[in-house]
């Protein structure tokens, strides 16, 4: 029996505003954050029948407490989805939500699913990375992995060593631009359409409403960054200013088989082209996006010159700069993270992959001349992940795939 692969499309994605650890979500449960996202996806897409959702994949790096217990299933139930909708949990550290997307996308392409919800959540204020883990002592005793691999900031310092041309000044300058671009994107309301307001509570301050990313520091300057400590190495290059912080937040998106999206009158924001994950030495995990991108490009039959829009997770400035330097892309290339990134917005580990996708979809909407874009990120313990997407609004090549309305009974909607 032969099977044909089916087209997978990104229908819609949302996220909570990201918070600082011990900040606006200090007394909010992790699962409630992702539940809020799932509910808002259903509200935003009223032609999506909840009973048609085939699975819910939710990632968390620290699967314990209120972000444990097969969170994809519990979040689905608590979101009001029918009991017939299953769910599961995923862990690939920072690329959790990205892996939730690629895993369920594979199911759609194969024919096991027509519609899925994928996303991630991380409440680092409640559950610091590594809470409750017990690394096998062989990792250190047999020197299988450099001890630096278990401290992400040290891996970033090691990446600076590997790329000596990436100075602290370059990293700081990149961080200042990220803060400025995020502030400009907020001023132009490029970010807000993807945000789900979250009611918050505090025993001391009462009820509140989270509507913006809490980690933003638009006043950041080169001078203010120059004075920050380098906690991972004496006289090092990595600081709290040129890295993402410790954050809380959640994301979720709807993926669909393309014809199903058309039949239901759902939006089509991106079309999946290829994806790949790759391993590197764990002690330089920030280099992971480079081989992952090479693999994804090869699988798609593309080169880096075909990619005209980039969303690169900013776990550390040096990690983005290493990727750009490898491909000969300027530090301030306008195609890269035009709305800013994790240095300003935050990086709640397993949730961040869908944030990247939301922002790439925004780039595609605003730039119909662009055909291909990618989302990429480094992953703890020495990995990288890259997903390549096609712009359905592209004005050349394939025609746009904006679906007809649900009332369109033409042959194209059948």
Task: Give the residue numbers annotated as catalytic, written as ranges.
Answer: 94, 347, 378
Closest listed residue to residue 194, CA positions, set 202, 203, 186: 186
For 80, left (φ over 0), alpha (ψ -120 to 50), or beta? left
- Distance in angstroms (rounded) separating the CA atoms of residues 406 and 414: 10
- Distance in angstroms (rounded) separating the CA atoms of residues 98 and 384: 11
Q: What's the alpha-carbon Rg for the chain, to the nearest Å?
A: 20
Crossing angle of helices 71-78 and 30-44, rounded to 10°: 60
| C-beta of residue 320 within 8 angstroms of C-beta of residue 243 | no
**Alpha helices in 188-311, H assignment, sequence order:** 222-226, 258-264, 289-300
Hunting for tokens 């203010």 — which residue is that? 224
**Alpha helices in 301-371, H assignment, sequence order:** 317-327, 342-345, 352-366
Crossing angle of helices 317-327 and 289-300, rounded to 10°: 40
Crossing angle of helices 168-187 and 317-327, rounded to 10°: 100
183 Cβ neighbours under 8 A, 6+ residues apart: 216, 218, 340, 344
- Distance in angstroms (rounded) separating the CA atoms of residues 116 and 57: 8
| Beta strands 115-123 and 55-59, pairing class | parallel
| C-beta of residue 358 within 8 angstroms of C-beta of residue 213 | no
Count other C-beta atoms under 10 Å from residue 153's C-beta: 19
| C-beta of residue 122 within 8 angstroms of C-beta of residue 61 | yes
Crossing angle of helices 352-366 and 96-110, rounded to 10°: 70
Secondary structure (3-state) at 159: helix
Phi, psi of 255 (to 5 degrees): -115, 150
């Amino acid at each position: 029996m032969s099977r044909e692969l089916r087209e997978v499309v990104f229908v819609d994605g949302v996220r909570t505003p990201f918070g600082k650890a011990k900040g606006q979500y200090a007394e909010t449960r992790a699962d409630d954050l992702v539940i809020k996202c799932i509910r808002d996806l259903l509200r935003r897409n009223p032609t999506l029948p909840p009973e048609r959702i085939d699975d819910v994949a939710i990632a968390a790096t620290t699967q314990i407490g209120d972000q444990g217990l097969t969170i994809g299933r519990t979040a689905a139930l608590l979101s009001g989805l029918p009991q017939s909708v299953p769910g599961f949990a995923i862990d690939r550290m920072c690329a959790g939500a990205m892996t939730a997307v690629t895993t369920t996308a594979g199911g759609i392409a194969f024919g096991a699913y027509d519609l899925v919800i994928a996303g991630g959540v991380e409440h680092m204020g409640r559950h610091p990375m590594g809470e409750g883990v017990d690394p096998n002592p062989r990792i250190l005793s047999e020197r299988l992995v450099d001890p630096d691999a278990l401290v992400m900031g040290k891996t970033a310092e090691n990446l600076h060593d590997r790329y000596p041309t990436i100075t602290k000044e370059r990293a700081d300058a990149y961080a200042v631009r990220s803060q400025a671009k995020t502030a400009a994107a907020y001023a132009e309301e490029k970010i807000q359409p993807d945000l789900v307001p979250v009611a918050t509570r505090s025993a001391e301050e009462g009820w509140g409403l989270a509507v913006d990313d809490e980690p933003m520091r638009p006043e950041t300057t080169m001078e203010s960054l120059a004075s920050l400590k380098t906690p991972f190495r004496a006289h090092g290059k990595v600081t709290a200013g040129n890295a993402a912080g410790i954050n809380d937040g959640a994301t979720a998106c709807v993926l669909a088989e393309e014809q199903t999206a058309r039949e239901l009158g759902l939006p089509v924001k991106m079309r999946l082209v290829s994806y790949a994950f790759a391993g590197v030495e764990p002690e330089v995990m920030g280099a992971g996006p480079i081989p992952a991108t090479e693999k994804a490009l090869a699988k798609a039959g593309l080169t880096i010159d075909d990619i005209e829009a980039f969303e690169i997770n900013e776990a550390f400035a040096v990690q983005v700069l290493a990727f750009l330097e490898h491909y000969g892309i300027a530090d301030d290339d306008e195609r890269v993270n035009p709305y800013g990134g994790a240095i300003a917005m935050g990086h709640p580990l397993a949730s961040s992959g869908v944030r990247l996708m939301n922002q790439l979809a925004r780039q595609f909407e605003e730039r119909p001349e662009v055909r291909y874009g990618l989302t990429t990120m480094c992953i703890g313990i020495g990995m990288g992940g890259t997903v390549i997407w096609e712009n359905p609004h592209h004005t050349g090549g394939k025609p746009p795939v904006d679906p007809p309305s649900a009332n369109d009974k033409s042959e194209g909607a059948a």
